[in-house]
Structure 1
Amino acid sequence: MGRRILNDALRTIVNAEKRGFASAQLQPVSNVMASFLNIMKHRGYIKDFQVYDPHRVGRITVELQGRIKDCRALMYRQDVKAQDIEQYRLGALPTHQWGYVVITTPNGVLDHEEAIRQNVGGQVLGYFY
């Protein structure tokens, strides 16, 4: 188990979106994955998700909305300072209008807007748009 768990889960979501499925099953479960999905839900990219049996292998069922074009997890967690978050976002995302960069900070897992608002830096987990 490594960082590839999050990347595999996000690729499963993107593939299910492209095929027009209403939901996707993600296995195994991690707390970082649940935090990432919570940000996606809060920003309106997925409808809802349920975590089943998180203490064992477990699974997550994600209800899709059809808004996700791409989402990726970085295999290397890149450090980013609070003042450099906006410049990183401009380089990582294809447009200025939509999309979010997800960052793990001392205050928890946040998207780039919350991290700028709280003036904290951290490590970039991934992005979605």
Structure 2
Amino acid sequence: MGRRILNDALRSIVNAEKRGKASVELQPISNVMRSFLDIMKSRGYIKNYQVYDPQRVGKIEVELQGRVKDCRALTYRQDLRARDIESYTSRILPTRQWGYVVISTPDGILDHETAIEKNVGGQVLGYFH
């Protein structure tokens, strides 16, 4: 259920970007979604996001920047070892210069470059470019 919520939120971001909107509202929210948005923000794919009423169902208002071409969460379980991350990213992403694969590791939720630096593997949550 959690991956489906993340996938719906990421598809909403892509659809809003295609329509040229400045912001999008995501609902319901989860901690994984917040971590995914943190990575997108740190890599410069979204401007900022604001969380409203996190105790209940909550919602997140995301300010878009116009850089996201595709953003998707995997709804199935995909395990990756640290040495297999590079080959996986070359298959999923369009080029080496664009995009990031987000991985849930024992060290937390990381993008693929940080996971390679720390030499940890985990489950693929999704990707964006």
Query: Structure 1-normalised TM-score?
Result: 0.98
- How far apart are the structure 1 equivalents of 2:49 and 2:37? 8
Counterpart residue number, 2:63: 63
RMSD of aligned Cα (Å): 0.7
Runs of 4+ with deviation above 3 angstroms: none
- How far apart are the structure 2 equivalents of 1:43 and 1:97? 12
Counterpart residue number, 1:104: 104
Counterpart residue number, 1:16: 16
Give the residue type in structure 2 aligned to 1:110.
Answer: L
Structure 2 residue runs without a partner (length 5+): none
Alignment map for 1:42-57 (pairs within 5 Å): 42-57=42-57
Query: Structure 2-normalised TM-score?
Result: 0.98
Counterpart residue number, 1:72: 72
Structure 1 residue runs without a partner (length 5+): none
Shift of 1:77: 2.2
Sequence identity of aligned pairs in percent?
Answer: 76
- How far apart are the structure 1 equivalents of 2:2 and 2:49? 22
Alignment map for 1:83-94 (pairs within 5 Å): 83-94=83-94
- How far apart are the structure 2 equivalents of 1:36 and 1:2? 13
Shift of 1:55: 1.6
Shift of 1:41: 0.1
